[in-house]
Amino acid sequence: MTGEEYLLGRLMTGYTGQTVPAVAEAFYRRIGFSEKQLDDYRTRFGSFGEYAYPLPHQYRRMVDRETLSIGGRYWQVIVGRGHSPEHASLYCPALKLIISGDQILPRITPNVSVFPMEPEGNPLEDWLNSCARLIGILPDDLLVLPAHQAPFTGIRARLNQIIDSHRMALARLYEQLATPHNLLDLFDCMFGRTIREEEIQMATGETLAHLNYLLARGNIRRYVDDGGLLSYVADADARYIDTDDAH
């Protein structure tokens, strides 16, 4: 597997049975989680290892654009980032086939989130850059085998759809932040529906990924409001420009 995926897996399984770090609880408290939501987070924390096989103590690292021989065919490792740190897809030119995993899905998009471990992270920029890179290096006549839903064709059209969906979400957020908002108040703007309690953590991470992207570009400002919660507002001196940089 890739190096960053291996190390992240080791880290996540290493939390098994541990209590929530104080910085992680403070992270969600400043976002506005209720005591019930914090209790739910404490209950789920460290459970990843209970659902995963233990990782081996040795592994063989795969790297981007490396060629592997599998089943008598040459397969190229294509790395994408954003959903996870170093996601590997496998591309076989002879078969006109790519095993895309979570990197390219036919109808949904994988979660791109900011987590307490890296609160200032900007995974959405990594994600958009990866999608644009894949458009540039992969031919359009591939059969795509995704990790979810059915196989499909039209990889470049789908990648452009994924990019556009995030760009539209960014534009909606920027418009909504003409007035200050706390993060949890932005779910309707981001997702256009009510978020269920079991979705709160993922929805929080994805919304924060979009906010951090706008922060990194200087489009919005962040501050702590009178209630001690993080609040976001469009920067009056900045203008959101919906460019074609990602294409």
Q: Does the domain made of 3-234 have the CATH classification 3.40.720?
A: no
Spell out the domain ranges in the chain. 3-234
The CA distances from residue 100 to 5, 139, 150, 174, 197, in Å, are 16, 14, 12, 31, 30
Average pLDDT over residues 122-131: 97
What burial class does residue 79 get, using C-beta atoms within 10 Å of its C-beta: 0-12 exposed, 13-18 middle, 19+ buried? buried
Give the model's confidence band at 240: pLDDT under 50 very low, under 70 low, under 90 confident, else very high: low
The model's pTM is 0.93
Average pLDDT over residues 24-28: 96
Q: How does pLDDT run across 40-62, given as a tens digit for each residue?
A: 999 999 888 888 888 999 999 99
The segment with the largest mean pLDDT, out of 8-12, 86-90, 107-111, 239-243, is 86-90
